[in-house]
A and B are shown apart, each in its own frame.
Chain A
């Protein structure tokens, strides 16, 4: 039996050789770090001196750490602020690009997708210029609107320096950034729906909304689920935007701007609390994993 196995393995040796680079790399940069990180979550280590074992101390501190909880809250709020408009926008644009009569489709697609190929650094810097309280374009534009329509007049908004407006400012940036990406995915999904369904529905006398409700939405479910999970993961671990816009990663005024990704980075590479950061990362990854499973269930449940 053993010799038979050995012979078969040797016969297929090229298979193992071909897949070995992945496994070697994964071993060094995936598995070992994964386990090491798990171990670290039970220790205190500043990366420079010695490692001290603290058992469940990190997890206990995590529960009481209001900065951690505040960062989760901020992440949630940002997610709630930007994901619905983005999804809606992406879907509407995808529908528009999918119709036969829209001209210059390629140009629209390019325009909406362009934000996705830009480095986040650049996006954040440009937006922080636009968001500047007294010399930014946004406040200027809002001021002009206020001049033309007096009832809409408002004070210049401190987008990046006030507790109230920091998260909406970030959310707006994220909508701009990710709508195109999701639009492209949804467009592909729409194009995958056979037109026969629509024909049949039209013959049966179904109106536009009924066609949407009974055909489009159900058949788009896999795409929506995929986008939802990508958005969830992206929101939780989002880093670049706030890191760049708040120069030095302070995370906005007070605690209103720190999101989880930034807090994790600060704990790891500004405070150099490797043990605590590992416990934080593991805890949150676990919850994200559960949430992803939940979303996936939506895909499974068929009507």
Chain B
């Protein structure tokens, strides 16, 4: 008897969970259907939970009239460049810290790297902008790709992973074979680091793809804008085109969302791996 009761209660517990889950998903649902509605329909009360009719024109218009396509390309280039650059830099340094124990000053240098994690980004906004101005690098892809790439957190993570998973015998064997140090890194170490690279890469991608503030500061012409920036600026157009904003938002959100749903495990691992060990 107790068994059935417990089973019933457990089943019942699913209801509030489902309700809450539904609440969490609801804004996405609302965003998605609003992208298919007319501007007045978006604001209509009582609300239409299913667009009637389904208007595809918003997407056509957003591609035609706004810079969403160009911004998508920019976002991809910047995200790809940033992640590639940061992964390269962090894995290289992390491997070095892990596998060169007798280099003079290694520990002190690593402590220095860790210390830099404590620097709050807020303090750096203005001076980094001023530096970029002087280097005439404002409004370039580099302005988005480079500044955040020196990630001490990434180095810490890579070092951790490398020291656990890269075995010295492999390295020694490769050295005997006559590989240069860089070749060893590229051919031997990187493949081993792949899971950690994937996880770190995901964390970085989420940050850079969604970034608004720095994009607003350093991207100065329309041709360079990223997706979040274009969406944000749409709010300032004449007679705010809500239907275009909704359509554009769907375009901005979909890539990461789809990637997340497909690679949930890697995303979660990316978020948690760094924190638990830290």
Taking Cβ atoms with an 8 Å cutoff, the residues of A that contact B are 5, 8-9, 12, 14-16, 18-19, 21-22, 25-26, 28-30, 32-34, 36-37, 40, 47, 93, 96, 101-103, 106-123, 125-127, 129-130, 132, 135, 137, 140, 176, 179-181, 184-185, 187-189, 192, 222-223, 226, 233, 237, 239-240, 243-244, 247, 261, 264-265, 268-269, 274, 277-278, 281-282, 284-285, 288-289
Contacts and interface: CB of A to CB of B under 8 A. Distances in A.
B275 to A, nearest CB: 5
A110 B10 contact: no
Contacts of A130: 27, 30
Nearest to A122: B249
Interface in B29-56: 30-31, 34, 42-47
A156 B54 CA distance: 30
Given A113-B260, A243-B213, A14 B96 contact: yes
A34 B27 contact: no
B217 interface: yes
A62 B85 CA distance: 39
Q: How large is the interface on B (under 10, 10 to 19, 20 to 34, 35 or more residues)?
A: 35 or more
A117 B267 contact: yes
Nearest to B16: A96
Given A130-B27, A132-B43, A284-B122, 10 more contacts: A22-B155, A34-B127, A102-B13, A117-B256, A117-B267, A118-B253, A140-B45, A181-B271, A184-B272, A237-B120
Contacts of A93: 17, 20
B213 A125 contact: no
A112 B149 contact: no
21 contacts: A8-B103, A18-B96, A25-B150, A26-B150, A33-B130, A108-B17, A109-B264, A110-B260, A110-B264, A112-B21, A122-B228, A126-B31, A129-B30, A129-B42, A129-B43, A176-B27, A179-B24, A188-B268, A264-B122, A281-B126, A285-B123
Secondary structure dominating the interface of A: helix
A176 B24 contact: yes
Contacts of A237: 120-122
Taking each of B10, B22, B155, which has the highest tally of chain A beta carbons within 10 Å of its own beta carbon? B10
Given A29-B150, A117-B260, A34 B102 contact: no
B236 to A, nearest CB: 7
B85 to A, nearest CB: 9
Contacts of A109: 264, 268
Given A5-B104, A281-B120, A30 B150 contact: yes
Interface in B113-134: 113, 116, 118-128, 130-131
B245 interface: yes
A36 B122 contact: no
B206 A121 contact: no
A96 B19 CA distance: 14
Contact of A192 (B42, B131, B276): B276
Contacts of A289: 118, 120
B123 A34 contact: yes
B22 to A, nearest CB: 8
Interface in B231-278: 231-232, 235-236, 242, 245, 249, 252-253, 256-257, 259-261, 264, 267-268, 271-272, 275-276, 278
A23 to B, nearest CB: 8
Contacts of B276: 185, 188-189, 192, 222-223
A18 B45 contact: no
B195 interface: no
A119 B208 CA distance: 10
Nearest to A6: B104
A12 B104 contact: yes
A121 B231 contact: yes
